[in-house]
Amino acid sequence: MKLLSVTPLVIPDIKVIRFARFSDHRGYFTETFRKSDLVKDERVSFLKSVDFVQGNESFSRLGTIRGMHFQWNPFMGKLVRTVRGHMVDLVLDIRKGSPTQGCLIGYDMPDDPVSDFNEWIWVPPGFAHGNCFPEHTQIEYLCSGEYSQGCEASISPFTADIDWMLCDPALKAMFDRLNGSGALVTDKDRNGLSLREWFADERSDNFIYDKC
């Protein structure tokens, strides 16, 4: 796995890991993941103690909005990439006491099969995760915890008390266009908790901001 760059986003705990593709007249080859490279490279030292124990794949039709999901017992961090199509990844800070508590950011992740790189986005525990899709899209994500029914919750991406001020306005506009044109959303996601409801829930104490 040839790492090209590791870039923190406006919420610095969220990282984008760019890795190389090797192209010729036939197409390309790439290693999408190699644990030893992540252990050795100091740019991804935040992943050294992370053990990825579950791999997921999903397909979303044009106009789908998913999120905002999170889990505890066990906590689940996610390493997410676009395999084919166009994903806008959405990340919401739910860490109590964080300077960006309640803020949501987006990151644009279209797949370009002729590009010389692809990217992972790292979403650690303490953040609710979702995405929206302006075209048919297949994604893959590696998880640092196995799915645990009963130890999960979701915040509606449509709740009015989410702070979008740190999000790229163009990505927020794309989200709004998808929502306004009859987005494909589950009832569970659309009717998820508000931030106010979640932070009033004692389970929210599972996610406390660590200043260190």
**Three-state SS at 204:** helix
**Residues identified as active-site:** 69, 141
Cα–Cα nearest to 126, from 144, 149, 108: 144
32: which residues sit within 8 A by CB, 6+ positions away? 1, 19, 81, 118, 120, 140
Distance between CA atoms of residues 160 and 110, nearest Å: 27
State phi, psi for 4 to the nearest 5 degrees. -100, -45
| Torsion over CA: 98, 99, 104, 108 (sign) | negative
CA distances from 22 to 2, 35, 202, 212 (A): 10, 19, 49, 39
Q: What is the CB neighbour count within 10 angstroms for residue 40?
A: 12
Residue 138 tokens read as: 């297949």
